[in-house]
Structure 1
């Protein structure tokens, strides 16, 4: 496979939309279709199921993606490290992270980065989700590791490094605390705490309430929940890093997973930033 064929296949497998894939790669939708047809002729079976309403991977396409993605990421990471070492990386990289899971990954990546680039320092810094992107734009941090989507004008999002299920955090005395799982539709029946670190919604809001409890940080969110003032959608890692006797975490049975990864100002991309992202990819794969 040629490099452009690999990139088109992987992008379409992730986007499952020809138009979005073309925009992501800077090519036309027609070009994406042409590359996919060439690959399918070479493989001998369809890699994607295509209808007027949806695109999906076939079993063969899914297996090819699972086999190809780690290898391609490894090649990109190796080239990034080689290029960075060739440029003689120096200076300091300021890395922001949101939450304990992202912080753990950042520390692992920082240790790997320092071994390969002893002349370049890493300064990890925890930030709150509500102002995390402001920190990037104000040049307070160089790269942020947080929960996707993290987008906006002038920002570049890197690959997803971590994936986890969504959970619903409820008071220990709540009826949902006694069930094995909840559904997206159940969100209509709970009062959700309002916070700038709220995850992307997966369903319409619950009962209308002009006096919703408001929190600024995850710890404040959990304190309000423990006091019986609402519920909140969190990632599965919260059950490990933020266990509390007054809060119960109930898994969703039908909600899409959460993805965590890096984002940085496009105009401020540097060799040391690219090298750090490459090490973060390897650290995430090693921890999986």
Structure 2
């Protein structure tokens, strides 16, 4: 790097004893070279794919409307790199994606994290979304600009499907607030539409992602954002024993497409 700086005639980094950061000239050089570097990387990826013979059929699963949109965009990027490999899409439910991965019905899936299974590998995060609380249109929270995790103690919280791992259900439906107040637990639901029907009927509240505003709008349900909850993360997961070159190539293409979204 110092050799490059001598060639340019100016420092590319601002260096102190505690940090190193790009200088203005370094930032400009990075911005100028990044597109060319990305194009070179695409060419190398295609050459590697050709050498490895990435072809055949990849089964891609997705759970949820937003994941489906991201899946389509990732498939387009993947096919541009690997035209000899076909992709078949499969709509999944969060309640059955583990089984369908393990029975090899799908090779890789886009699902909501966390996924902590010893036989599965989690890949990169592809997108995040704000957590929101779905409440009945007549609920006292419906007119608020935001809610907090502590507010969950003031209502009944509907539960995710019991078929899901306990760690995933607790992430969506905690039993206590951050301060330790108990949260009343409502009935378990199997699908999003079932859960929202119960919310609309005033049977409880439901923690959802921001995509619900776009894909699951209902006149009897209002979505209120949390002001203190971490976002949901969505990403790739596959069988550890099924980490084929096709799966690896798709993960690389999906991550590259994510940066362009």
Q: How far apart in 2 are the matches of 1:162 and 1:149?
A: 13
Please tell me whether the aligned partners of residues 171 and 246 of structure 1 are also in contact (alpha carbons under 8 angstroms).
yes
- Give 3-state SS (helix, strand or coil) of 2:187's partner: coil
| 1:281, distance to aligned residue in structure 2 (A) | 1.2
Aligned length: 228
1:228–1:45: structure 2 CA closer, same or farther, 3 Å change rule?
farther
Q: Report the counterpart of residue 244 of structure 2 in structure 1.
A: 270
What TM-score do you get using the length of structure 2 for normalisation? Answer: 0.77
Please tell me whether the aligned partners of residues 155 and 264 of structure 1 are also in contact (alpha carbons under 8 angstroms).
yes
Q: Report the counterpart of residue 236 of structure 1 in structure 2.
A: 210
1:203–1:87: structure 2 CA closer, same or farther, 3 Å change rule?
same
Q: How far apart in 1 are the matches of 2:131 and 2:184?
A: 23
Q: Report the counterpart of residue 227 of structure 1 in structure 2.
A: 201
Q: Report the counterpart of residue 143 of structure 1 in structure 2.
A: 108
- The aligned runs of 1:24-173 (5 Å cut-off) are 43-46=15-18, 78=42, 80-173=45-138
- Give 3-state SS (helix, strand or coil) of 2:228's partner: coil
Q: Report the counterpart of residue 214 of structure 1 in structure 2.
A: 188
Structure 1 position 248 matched with structure 2 position 248: no
- Give 3-state SS (helix, strand or coil) of 1:141's partner: coil
| 1:60, distance to aligned residue in structure 2 (A) | 6.4
Q: Report the counterpart of residue 204 of structure 1 in structure 2.
A: 175
Q: Structure 2: any 5+ residue segments left out of the alignment?
A: 2-13, 23-29, 177-181
| 1:270, distance to aligned residue in structure 2 (A) | 1.1
Please, which moves more after superposition, 165-174 or 212-221?
Answer: 212-221
Structure with bigger strand share is: 2
Q: How far apart in 2 are the matches of 1:101 and 1:199?
A: 22
1:189–1:116: structure 2 CA closer, same or farther, 3 Å change rule?
same
| 1:245, distance to aligned residue in structure 2 (A) | 0.9
For the aligned residue pairs, the C-alpha RMSD in angstroms reads 3.0
1:117–1:207: structure 2 CA closer, same or farther, 3 Å change rule?
closer
1:60–1:190: structure 2 CA closer, same or farther, 3 Å change rule?
farther
Q: Structure 1: any 5+ residue segments left out of the alignment?
A: 2-41, 48-58, 62-66
| 1:199, distance to aligned residue in structure 2 (A) | 7.0
Q: Report the counterpart of residue 31 of structure 1 in structure 2.
A: none
- For residues 78-119 of structure 1, the C-alpha deviation after alignment (integer angstroms, 9 at most, x for no partner) is 465542232121111111111011110001111222232222
Q: Report the counterpart of residue 286 of structure 1 in structure 2.
A: 260
| 1:214, distance to aligned residue in structure 2 (A) | 2.4
Q: RCO (CA 8 Å, sep 6+): is it higher in 1 or 2?
A: 2
- Give 3-state SS (helix, strand or coil) of 1:161's partner: strand
1:92–1:177: structure 2 CA closer, same or farther, 3 Å change rule?
same
Please say which structure displays the higher CA radius of gyration.
2
Structure with bigger helix share is: 1
